[in-house]
Amino acid sequence: MNSAKNNTPGWEVVIGLEVHTQLKTASKIFSGASTAFGSEPNTQACAVDLGLPGVLPVANLEAVRMAVKFGLAIDANINRTNVFARKNYFYPDLPKGYQISQMELPIVGEGSLAINTEKGEKIIGITRAHLEEDAGKSLHEDFHGMTGIDLNRAGTPLLEIVSEPDMRSSAEAVAYLRKLYSLVTYLEICDGNMQEGSFRCDANVSVRPVGQKELGTRTESKNINSFRFVERAIEYEIERQIDLIEDGGTVVQETRLYDPDKHETRSMRSKEEAHDYRYFPDPDLPPMLLEESFIDGVRGTLPELPEAKYTRFIESYNLSVEDAAQLTVSRPIADYYEQVVEATQPSTNASTNTATQADAKLAANWIIGELFAALNNDDLTIEQSPVTAVQLAGLLDRVKDNTLSGKTAKQVFAALWHQEGEVDAIIESKGLKQIIDVGAIETIVDDVLARCTEQVQQYKSGNEKVFGFLVGQVMQASKGKANPGQVNQLLKKKLN
């Protein structure tokens, strides 16, 4: 992170995030309508989602399970009794005039999340996480001078995760958001599709003179759906607020909208207070009482969490902290890595333990290097990788048994990527098998030495630099298939 950007002498920045996580349920939070994304407008909102008279909402048990799963993962207090409340406001995409949310008794109480900062680990407090329904969407394009309303999203389950105002820079806010993203996708409670709005946040930002105890007046920038945008929106707000105060003005508590095209935030409306919404317990939904056995059941479904996996990768595979961090950034990446390690043959001629760690290191290098580059290049996720974990393991086996050199292995990888067949067939058809037959290499070496008498003379009269040239000649004559180690040895032997 560019530290110059957070250089605000005399001022301390305070940030708290409200993150809306769309829960990955098949149906809505209070109805059986589908939550699928991208259907024809207004085909997926039923009478319950629209709040038509005479219908009753019923809480989706799966959404409740997911909320509890999250609560347990951040070591939070799960409120055994929690209550749905109506948040009353008018908006065209909310035809029933209220949103069902949770106010005084949210399902998840206080918890925390550790993030990594430049100064080491830092704990960010999580105030609460509550269940609520999403609203519909206003469509401004395609309707000249008018606004279209698509209510398909109405009633989609959201878990709103509210942090304490514990972050002190945009970098910390991004680190927190990434950590949270990793967690909810690990837990498989959110599909993580930020473009579709499955994970979006409101950034609350204020500044105060260094040393001041009370918090400054905050603004809230709404609905930011990328890590880059959150960083930019916060940076913009910090600068705007400091400039404003230094010029003798005051920050107004308000809701602002981030414009990703202009990289600025604009005032939307003055901030409403909780009492403006006239919250009251929803009379259609009784308080939710969670039994111990239910919570224990959910606890039993918790996967290995990112933190634990990271530590295990360092300890059992002897990976560097950087490699372990990259390989545990998402569950599919970690799974792919472990499948490669699992499928690869242990190296021979070394004591078993170190062999496994060397194999694990080789697998890490190939995934972080070659595979990530290729995925990036073709804009694919690891689940879409044309090279399977088993194929990559097969490729690494041929590196370890010296059939392939580093260079020819990359050619095989490229062929695998273009789905030209299996590893051994590719090696065969492209004639990439490394020559380890000493006799065959010796013939090439002799040829080169006979051809390059001038360089041999130079070497013998002390110019050691030409040795590299001779190795290059042999490698070239073998079309890259000679084993570089063997070539070195043979050349040395013959020249001395």
Per CB under 6 A, residues contacting ligand ADP are 14-18, 162-165, 204-206, 215-216, 218, 220
Q: Pairing state of beta strands 98-101 and 264-270?
A: unpaired
Residue number, 205 or 364, with CB nearest to ligand ADP: 205
By rule CB under 5 A, what string of x and - marks binding of each residue 14-53 to Mg ion? ----x-----------------------------------
Angle, helices 466-477 vs 453-460, to 10°: value is: 150
Which of ligand ADP, Mg ion, none sits in contact with 16, Cβ below 5 to 8 A by type?
A: ligand ADP
**Minimum separation from the CB atom of position 209 to Mg ion (A):** 25
188 makes contact, choosing from Mg ion, ligand ADP, none, with CB < 5 to 8 Å by partner type, with none
Contacts (Cβ under 8 Å, ≥6 apart) of 331: 185, 186, 188, 303
Task: Return the exposure string of 419-437: e unless at least 16 CB atoms fall within 10 Å of the residue's CB, then b.
Answer: eebebeebbeeeebebbee
Closer residue to ligand ADP, CB minimum distance, 222 or 433: 222
394 binds, among ligand ADP, Mg ion, none (CB under 5 to 8 A by kind): none
Cβ neighbours for 493, distance < 8 A, ≥ 6 positions apart:
none
Pairwise CA distance, residues 253 & 238, whole Å: 14
Q: Helix %, strand %, coil % for the chain, to 5?
A: 40, 20, 40
Give the tokens for residue 332.
Answer: 């599919």
Which of Mg ion, ligand ADP, none has residue 113 at its interface (CB below 5 to 8 Å by kind)? none
User: Which token pair is 48?
Assistant: 């319950």
CA atoms within 13 A on the CB side of 328: 21
Task: Specify the amino acid at residue 84.
Answer: F
How far is residue 291's CA from residue 294's CA, in Å, rounded to a whole number?
5
Chain length of the chain: 496
> Which residue, 46 or 124, has its beta carbon nearer to ligand ADP?
124
- Which of 101/483 has CB closer to Mg ion? 101
Nearer to ligand ADP, 42 or 255 (CB): 255
Q: Which does 218 bind (CB under 5 to 8 A by kind): ligand ADP, Mg ion, none?
A: ligand ADP
Of 206 and 405, which has the nearer Cβ to ligand ADP?
206
Residue 356: name its binding partner from ligand ADP, Mg ion, none (Cβ under 5 to 8 Å by kind): none
Nearest residue (beta carbon) to ligand ADP: 16
Sort residue 462 into left (φ over 0), alpha (ψ -120 to 50) or beta: left
**Contacted entry of ligand ADP, Mg ion, none for residue 423, CB cut-off 5 to 8 Å set by kind:** none
- Kindly tell me which of 204 and 408 has the beta carbon lying closer to ligand ADP: 204
CB of 160 to Mg ion, least distance (A): 9
Shortest distance, CB of residue 241 to Mg ion, whole angstroms? 17
Which spans of this chain sit near Mg ion (rule: CB under 5 A)?
18
